[in-house]
Amino acid sequence: MRWRLFGQKRTRMSKAFTIIVFTVLTAIFSVSCSRNSDVLVTEVGVSPPSRRSAKTSKAEKFYLQGQAQHVKGNSQAAIASYTKAISLNLEYGAAYRSRGLARFDTGDKQGAIADYNQALRINANDAEAYNNRGNARASLGDNKTAIEDYNEAIRLASNYAEAYNNRGNARAAQGDRKGAIDDYSQAIRLTPNYAIAYNNRGNARAANGDPQGAIADYNEAIRLNPNFAPAYNNRGNARAVNGDKAGALKDLQQAAAIFQRQDNKDLYQQVMNNIQELK
């Protein structure tokens, strides 16, 4: 029986099952770069607009306008606003970094990398730019270079839980399951309510032949975020591997219901296909 799940890499768990786990990166605001299940899904950070004085420069006004547009999901408008901010201040590192996030969201990963490069030219100590460039490189399959970026982000900000989580994703993609588990564990130590890191560590443990450890992590991810559909989906697969067909079916049905409420037709259909296979 083959299971079609979501995301990054097919991992052999037993002779009976081939599982593709849904692995996510993390930051503040969730924006998916693609609905194609073969593309790495990531969450990219967009800081909410902050209050500024009446003396805020014109460039800063365009920058804040771009942030507000990106938060609302209008990435193209955000790119235009960030571009105007940059045209008024060519050394505006934060605007380059934010435009990189918006470009990544539209699927322009090379454009995003070019913007992160500019942000790092202006400020070589910008840990967030290293982390985000790592995300873009990982989404292009360049996990080796992505890990170098995450390493630099962690060197600059040792408590950067997101960078540990993201490096764990890249290590998992390279087959370094122990390194991935170590990174997810460190992310969880730094941020104990990090549901995504629990989910990702569960994926790594499942791939490492530890379905019970995986289920424990998925349990915690669901406790922290009861609407985390991928964790239900992944726990369902781990339960199926563990011989718990009833528990697996219940989890897959819950994942399908959440994806349906979210109007995510692609992932809903994939879970429904899994349910039919399980039956």
Judge whether residue 72 has pLDDT over 60.
yes
Q: Which residue has the higher pLDDT, 214 or 274?
A: 214
Distance from the Cα of residue 11 to its chain's centroid: 19
How are the residues of the chain apportioned to helix, strand and coil, as percentages rounded to the nearest 5? 65, 5, 30
Nearest to 236 by CA among 246, 225, 224, 221: 246
Q: Which residue has the higher pLDDT, 245 or 43?
A: 245
The SS3 call for residue 29 is strand
Cβ neighbour number for residue 278 with a 10 Å cutoff: 16
What's the pLDDT at 56?
A: 60
**Arithmetic mean of pLDDT, 34-52:** 38
Band (22; pLDDT cuts 50, 70, 90): low
What's the pLDDT at 279?
A: 83
Q: Walk me through the domains of the chain, giving residue ranges and CATH numbers.
A: 194-279 (1.25.40.10)
Distance from the Cα of residue 63 to its chain's centroid: 24
What's the pLDDT at 23?
A: 52
In single-letter form, the type of residue at position 68 comes to: A
Q: Which residue has the higher pLDDT, 130 or 279?
A: 130
Who's near 279: CB < 8 A, 6+ residues apart?
Answer: 249
Span 86-126, pLDDT tens digits = 999 999 999 999 999 999 999 999 999 999 999 999 999 99
Give one DSSP letter per residue of 131-173, joined into a string: HHHHHHHHHTT-HHHHHHHHHHHHHH-TT-HHHHHHHHHHHHH
Who's near 260: CB < 8 A, 6+ residues apart?
Answer: 268
What's the pLDDT at 32?
A: 30
In single-letter form, the type of residue at position 184 comes to: Y
**Arithmetic mean of pLDDT, 130-152:** 98
Percent of the chain with pLDDT over 70: 80
For residues 20 and 62, give the distance between their C-alpha atoms in angstroms, rounded to a whole number: 41
Place of tokens 């424990």: 216
